[in-house]
Chains A and B, each alone.
Chain A
Amino acid sequence: MKTLVWVEHDGSSVKDATLAAVTAASKLGEVHLLVAGSGVDAVAKEAAQIAGVGKVHVADNAAFGHNLPENVAPLIADLMGSHDAFLAPATTTGKNIAPRVAALLDVMQISEILSVEGPKTFTRPIYAGNAIATVESSDAKLVLTVRGTAFDKAATSGGSGAIEAVGGGSDAGISSFVGAEIAKQDRPELTSAKVIVSGGRALGSSEKYQEVIVPLADKLGAALGASRAAVDAGYVPNDYQVGQTGKIVAPEVYFAIGISGAIQHLAGMKDSKTIVAINKDEDAPIFQVADFGLVADLFSAVPDLTAKI
Chain B
Amino acid sequence: MKILVPVKRVLDYNVKPRVKSDGTGVDLANVKMSMNPFDEIGIEEAIRLKEKGVATEVVAISVGPAKAQETLRTALAMGADRAILVQTDDDVEPLALAKIFKAIADAEAPGLVILGKQAIDGDNNQTGQMLAALTGWAQGTFASAVNVEGDHVSVTREVDGGLETVKLKLPAIVTTDLRLNEPRYASLPNIMKAKSKPLDTKTPADYGVDTAPRVKTVKVSEPPVRSAGVKVADVDELVAKLKAMGVHS
Interface, chain A (partner B; CB < 8 A): 66, 68-70, 73, 91-93, 95-104, 106-112, 121, 125-139, 172-183, 189, 191, 195, 219-221, 237-239, 244-245, 247, 252-253, 263, 270, 274-276, 287-296, 301, 304-305, 308-309
Contacts and interface: CB of A to CB of B under 8 A. Distances in A.
A121 B162 contact: no
Majority SS at the chain A contact face: mixed
B95 A103 contact: yes
Contact of B126 (A111, A173, A301): A111
B162 A128 contact: no
Contacts of B164: 66, 177, 179-181
Interface of B: 11, 16-17, 19, 26, 93-95, 98, 120-134, 136-139, 141-142, 144, 154, 157-169, 172, 178-179, 213-223, 226, 228-232, 234-236, 238-239, 241-243, 245, 247-249
Given A134-B221, A253-B245, A108 B93 contact: yes
B235 A239 contact: no
B209 to A, nearest CB: 12
A289 B230 CA distance: 10
B229 A126 contact: no
Given A92-B160, A99-B133, A102-B126, A293 B232 contact: yes
B34 to A, nearest CB: 14
A244 B134 CA distance: 28
Nearest to B229: A291
Contact of A128 (B123, B172, B222, B234): B123
20 contacts: A68-B166, A99-B133, A109-B126, A111-B126, A134-B219, A135-B218, A138-B215, A174-B168, A174-B169, A175-B139, A175-B167, A179-B164, A180-B162, A182-B163, A195-B247, A220-B248, A239-B161, A274-B245, A308-B239, A309-B248
A293 B229 contact: yes
The 7 closest A-B pairs by CB, nearest first: A291-B229, A99-B129, A103-B133, A103-B130, A108-B214, A99-B126, A182-B162
A180 B165 contact: yes
A223 B230 CA distance: 25
Contacts of A125: 123, 223
Contacts of A177: 164-166
Nearest to B248: A309
Given A253-B245, A308-B236, A238 B158 contact: yes
B123 A111 contact: yes
A107 B132 CA distance: 15
A140 to B, nearest CB: 10
Contacts of B93: 108
Nearest to A112: B123
| Chain B contact residues: helix, strand, loop or mixed | mixed
Contact of A139 (B19, B130, B214, B231): B214
A296 B143 CA distance: 39
Contacts of A220: 247-249
Contacts of B228: 287-290, 293
Nearest to B182: A232
B132 A100 contact: yes
Contacts of B231: 287, 292-295
A172 B161 CA distance: 27
A2 B6 CA distance: 36
A96 B129 contact: yes
B117 to A, nearest CB: 8
Given A69-B132, A102-B126, A127 B121 contact: yes
Contacts of A309: 239, 242-243, 247-249
Specify which of B130, B133, B166 lies most central, judged by the most chain A CB atoms within 10 Å of its CB.
Answer: B133
A31 to B, nearest CB: 23
A292 B223 contact: no
A88 to B, nearest CB: 12
A95 B98 CA distance: 16
A121 B218 contact: yes
A103 B142 contact: no
B229 to A, nearest CB: 4
Given A176-B167, A295-B231, A92 B157 contact: yes
